Amino acid sequence: MTDSPSAFLGMLRTHLLLVRCIGMLAELGIADRVATAPQTPDALATACGVDADALMRILRLLAAHGVFQADDTGAYRNTPISELLRDVSGSQRDTLRTSWQDVIWDTYRQLPDALRTGETAFDKAFGQSFFEYLSAHQEIGARFDSSMALMSAPENAALATTYPFHGTVVDVGGGRGGLISAILSAHADVRGILYDQPQVLQDEAKLLVAAQRDRCDLMPGDFFLSVPNDGDIYVLKRILHDWSDREAVRILRACRAALKPTARILVMDAVIKPGNDPDPNKLLDVGIMALTEGRERTAADFERLFAAADLKIARVIPPTPPSPMSIVEGGL
**266-282, pLDDT tens digit by residue?**
999 999 998 898 888 99
Say yes or no: 23 and 72 in one domain. Answer: yes
- Nearest one of 186, 189, 268, 264 to 231, comparing CA atoms: 264
Cβ atoms within 10 Å, residue 208: 20
pTM of the full structure = 0.82
Q: How many domains does the chain have?
A: 3
The CATH number covering residue 190 comes to 3.40.50.150
The answer to whether residue 274 is domain-embedded is yes
Residue 91 inside a domain? The answer is no
**What mean pLDDT comes out for the span 222-251?**
96
Give mean pLDDT, residues 87-108: 87
Q: Would you say residue 97 lies in a domain?
A: no
If asked whether residues 217 and 316 sit together in one domain, one would say yes
Say yes or no: 235 and 308 in one domain: yes
Q: Is 187 annotated in the active site?
A: no
- For residues 63 and 192, membership in a common domain is answered with no
Residue 2 has pLDDT above 80, yes or no: no
Which structural domain, as residue segments, surrounds residue 198? 140-331
pLDDT in tens, 252-270: 999 999 999 999 999 999 9
Sequence length of the chain is 332
CATH number at residue 35: 1.10.10.10
| Residue 157 and residue 282 share a domain | yes
Selecting among 15, 137, 187, 241, the annotated active-site residue is 241
Assigned domain for 95 exists: no
Report the alpha-carbon distance of residue 15 to residue 325 in Å, rounded: 26
Q: Which of 175, 202, 13, 28 is nearest to 98 (CA)?
A: 28
* pLDDT exceeds cutoff 60 at 12: yes
153 plus 233 within the same structural domain? yes
Chain mean pLDDT for the chain: 92
* Out of 33-47, 102-116, 174-188, 314-328, least confident range: 314-328
> Do 293 and 156 lie in a common domain?
yes
Q: How many angstroms separate the CA atoms of 223 and 290, rounded?
A: 24
In a domain, 165, yes or no: yes
pLDDT of 192 > 60? The answer is: yes
219 and 326 co-located in one domain = yes
* Domain-embedded: residue 92: no
The CA distance from 258 to 168, in Å, is 13
Shared domain check, 108 and 79: no
* Spatial contact of 133 and 63, defined as CB atoms under 8 Å apart: no
Per-residue pLDDT tens over the stretch 48-64: 999 999 999 999 999 99
pLDDT category of residue 138 using cuts at 50, 70 and 90? confident
pLDDT score of 89? 73
69 beta partners = 77
Please give the full DSSP string across 258-325, using - where no structure is assigned.
H--TT-EEEEEE-EEPSTT---HHHHHHHHHHHHSS---EEHHHHHHHHHHTT-EEEEEEPP-TT---
Residue 95's pLDDT is what? 85
Same-domain check for residues 131 and 263 = no
When pLDDT is cut at 50, 70 and 90, the band that residue 4 belongs to is: confident
Given a cut of 70, is residue 1 above it in pLDDT? no
CB 264 within 8 A of CB 232: yes
Last residue of a domain, one of 112, 136, 160: 136
Q: Which residues contact 79 (CB under 8 A, 6 or more apart)?
A: 66, 67, 68, 69
Asked if residue 149 has pLDDT above 80, the reply is no
Among 153-157, 302-306, 312-316, 324-328, the minimum mean pLDDT is found in 153-157
